[in-house]
Amino acid sequence: MTVPPSGSTRSDAGPTSAALVPPPLENRLADAPRYAALHGLAPVGTRPPLRTYVRDLWGKRAFIRVLATSKAYAENQTTYLGQLWTILNPLLNAIVYIAIFGFLMGARAGTENVIAFIVVGTFIFRFFDASVSAGSRSITGNASLVRSLRFPRAVLPVAGVLAQLATLLPALVVMCVVVLVSQLVPGMGAVPLGWRWLLLAPAVGLLWVFSTGCAFIAGRLVAVAPDVANVIPFVMRFVMYGSGVIFSIDSYVSSESSPALYAILTYQPVAVYLDLARSAILNEPSITTDPVTWIVGAGWALVALVGGFTYFWRGEERYGRD
Amino acid sequence: MTDEIDFEVDAEDLDQVATQKEVGEPSLVVDDLSVTYRIVGGGHAPTETAGSLLRRVVGRGRRHVGAVHEVKAIRNVSFVARQGEAIGILGINGSGKSTLLRAIAGLVPSSGGSVYSVGAPSLLGVNAVLMSQLSGERNIMVGGLAMGLSPKEVNARFDDIVEFSGIGDSVYLPMRTYSSGMAARLRFAISAAATPDILMIDEALATGDADFRQRSKERMDAIRDHASTVFLVSHSIATVASMCTRAMWLDHGRLVMDGPVGDVTAAYAEFIRAKHRERDAARGEQASGH
């Protein structure tokens, strides 16, 4: 290669590359919408009507199922103990809280069997926490999937929560075993096995629906403002301590001294689902549930699902922009 | 990836010529399409802010807090694609080629204009990230279902996909253990398992050896028989020339040329040669300066 003398670099090189780029084409159709309609073409990238969206989502149920089970399985794939971690994780989590709150601090007021109380609380709450967290990452964490394939984006939060449910189910078996064993520990109240244990299934079912609704909301919020993902763990921590996951809230807030606060703490959704789950398998006189509690639980689930889904759907055409 | 790849002519591709098919009804209308990316946390180029100390401090702080940067990736692009056409999209890196395909597929929201299409355009790319922790087998199911196949259809095409990708028994290993070539071939094989109305291929053919490229071309021709329109984004002028009937040239997000593949590739090749000369000249200048 010959080195041209400095100063005359482009004299012998022909036209510059910039000069070889033609001007932008001015080829816009006079009436594109009409032209498209005439040839039976449909607009792309617009948000489908709610009814169509629900139908599309239903049509993707096989995809949701496979995505959820794959995600659940993939989570613990890179460890030696593998899938054993789906039960070890919540168990270790429960042990930490039992050791600190149940024994070290002795926050046992209002509980007959603090081990069973905390185990049920942490296992159930962990599912909710993980579901919302999975929902919040559903768009941002699957950006490449969102950018390469077209499907109703609601698939992602639904699959994210379903993956958590898939990891919860084996954990629930462990939870029940721990609860049964806990009555053998001196000082712990009895937890008789009975038909009412079956009520755990609808309680978890309602929580699942509620969590899916929350996951929709978290998913859109984080997709729009990624900063929200940093705030969610603190909100979750607040909800955890405010819902009596590891200690009985009733012993700290009484209905006589502050009725409004008591009502809020009792009927807020997470507390309701914890009460429903605990009343199903524990034997705690302080936890009283009646049909009203079930109705409130179903109501929260419905409100969260419908509200969350609609909210998520309204952002549909914007996902994948960043 | 560097510019150099753009104009490297691969001898193996030269003897292939795209099979001309009858051009029919419009299958895609793109009307004044613009796409703007909003990049959160992307810094602006450092600017010398004159003025008070306060303004300088605030100006500097803006780069770290509340930094939102807008990039106009596609600007006012309009065209009509017809059935039976294979359209190559040319342009240097960052000219908006991939973004255009994504916007047409409805994957990236547009900031202006609209796209009309027959059926659902499907984007086939080696960039489609599958789940690396899962086995190839599992990914075939996930990918197939995501593209709209039923579980039955995926199972029916499973052997075909594995054979086409040529990864053999590795399909049962997690994808993170694959070489990048194996992963890219599997992605291509999964994407090519469905036959959409409008097929868009992003850099897919750059992967694999000559044998795989040959099979890819055959598969693409087969898909073209079913799909009405094919789009191809490639760095290689030779690939576009051999596979497409029509070409578009994008520059800084603007459509600057659209026509028969021979005309566009010729003009584009001249532009690339000029760019090449300029870079050499700039290097020469640098060298003589020392």
**Residue B89 domain-assigned?**
yes
Kindly report the pTM of this predicted structure. Answer: 0.79
Cβ neighbours of residue A279 closer than 8 Å, sequence gap 6 or more: A196, A199, A287, A288, A289, A293
Report how far residue A242's alpha carbon sits from residue A268's, in angstroms, rounded to the nearest whole number.
10
Residues B150, B23, single domain; the answer is no
Residues B151, B190, single domain; the answer is yes
What's CA B154's distance to the chain center, in Å?
25
Range of the domain at B154: 128-195
Q: What CATH number did the domain enclosing B86 receive?
A: 3.40.50.300
Q: How many angstroms separate the Cα of B23 from the Cα of each of A33, A271, B84, B261? A: 22, 64, 5, 14
Structure confidence at residue A33 (pLDDT): 84
Residues B280, B141, single domain; the answer is no
Is the pLDDT at B281 greater than 50? The verdict is: yes
Does the CB of A30 have a partner CB in chain B at under 8 Å?
no
Read off the pLDDT of each residue in B99-119 and give the average, rounded to a whole number. Answer: 84
Residues on chain B touching A32 (C-beta within 8 angstroms) = 29, 31-32, 78, 114, 116
Residues B86, B155, single domain; the answer is no
Does the CB of A33 have a partner CB in chain B at under 8 Å?
yes
What are the residue boundaries of the structural domains of chain A, listed by start? 47-314
Last residue of a domain, one of B173, B195, B217: B195
- Closest among B204, B214, B252 to B97, alpha carbons compared: B252
Q: How many CA atoms lie within 13 A of B194 on its CB side?
A: 29
**Residue B45 domain-assigned?**
no
Q: Which band of pLDDT confidence, cut at 50, 70 and 90, is reported for residue A8?
A: very low
Structure confidence at residue B7 (pLDDT): 38
Q: Which band of pLDDT confidence, cut at 50, 70 and 90, is reported for residue A252?
A: confident
Per-residue pLDDT tens for A69-126? 988 888 777 778 878 888 888 889 889 988 888 888 877 777 888 889 999 999 999 9
Residues B229, B260, single domain; the answer is yes
Residues B190, B200, single domain; the answer is no
Helix (H) or strand (E) holding A181: helix A155-182
Distance from CA of B224 to the nearest CA of A (A): 19
Q: Which band of pLDDT confidence, cut at 50, 70 and 90, is reported for residue A186?
A: confident
Distance from CA of A296 to the nearest CA of B (A): 37
Residues on chain B touching A68 (C-beta within 8 angstroms) = none
Per-residue pLDDT tens for B169-218? 888 988 888 887 788 788 888 877 777 777 787 765 556 677 777 777 77
Read off the pLDDT of each residue in B43-71 and give the average, rounded to a whole number. Answer: 63
Q: How many angstroms separate the Cα of A5 from the Cα of each of A15, B187, B204, B277, B286? A: 19, 50, 43, 15, 11
Is the pLDDT at B89 greater than 60? The verdict is: yes
Asked if B83 contacts B241 with a C-beta cutoff of 8 angstroms, the reply is no
Report how far residue A251's alpha carbon sits from residue A274's, in angstroms, rounded to the nearest whole number.
16
Out of A112-126, A144-158, B29-43, the most confident range is A112-126
- What values do phi and psi take at B75, rounded to 5? -125, 110
Is the pLDDT at A257 greater than 50? The verdict is: yes
Residues B15, B88, single domain; the answer is yes
Is the pLDDT at A7 greater than 50? The verdict is: no
Residues B112, B155, single domain; the answer is no
Question: Domain tally for chain B?
Answer: 2
Residues on chain A touching B31 (C-beta within 8 angstroms) = 28-29, 32-33, 36
Structure confidence at residue B14 (pLDDT): 45
B78:A44 CB<8 A: no
B28:A41 CB<8 A: yes
pLDDT, chain A, mean: 86
Structure confidence at residue B55 (pLDDT): 66
Q: What strands, in cross-sheet order, belong to the sheet with B26-40? A: A42-43, B112-117, B26-40, B68-82
- Nearest chain A alpha carbon to B69: A322
- Nearest chain A alpha carbon to B150: A62
Report how far residue A42's alpha carbon sits from residue B168's, in angstroms, rounded to the nearest whole number.
41
**Residue B75 domain-assigned?**
no
**More reliable by pLDDT, B256 or A6:** B256
Burial class (CB in 10 A: 0-12, 13-18, 19+), A1: exposed
Is the pLDDT at A307 greater than 90? The verdict is: yes
Asked if B204 contacts B122 with a C-beta cutoff of 8 angstroms, the reply is no
Q: What residue spans of chain B are helical by DSSP H?
A: 11-14, 53-61, 97-104, 136-146, 151-165, 180-191, 210-226, 237-243, 261-289
Cβ-nearest to A41 among B29, B151, B277: B29
Q: Cβ of B25: how many Cβ atoms within 10 Å?
A: 12
B127:A148 CB<8 A: yes
Per-residue pLDDT tens for B214-266? 777 777 777 767 767 888 887 778 888 888 889 999 999 999 999 999 999 99
Cβ-nearest to A21 among B103, B117, B256: B256
Cβ-nearest to A27 among B78, B102, B141: B78
Cβ-nearest to A78 among B122, B133, B288: B133
**Residue B50 domain-assigned?**
no
Residues B11, B141, single domain; the answer is no
Q: Give me the helix-helix angle, A200-224 and A291-314, nearest 10°.
A: 30
Q: Cβ of A77: how many Cβ atoms within 10 Å?
A: 16
Cβ-nearest to A43 among B107, B115, B288: B115
- Nearest chain A alpha carbon to B132: A74
Residues B178, B282, single domain; the answer is no
Residues on chain B touching A160 (C-beta within 8 angstroms) = none
**Residue B134 domain-assigned?**
yes
**Residue B42 domain-assigned?**
no
B107:A42 CB<8 A: no
Report how far residue B82's alpha carbon sits from residue A35's, in angstroms, rounded to the nearest whole number.
13
Q: Which band of pLDDT confidence, cut at 50, 70 and 90, is reported for residue A273?
A: very high
**Residue B44 domain-assigned?**
no
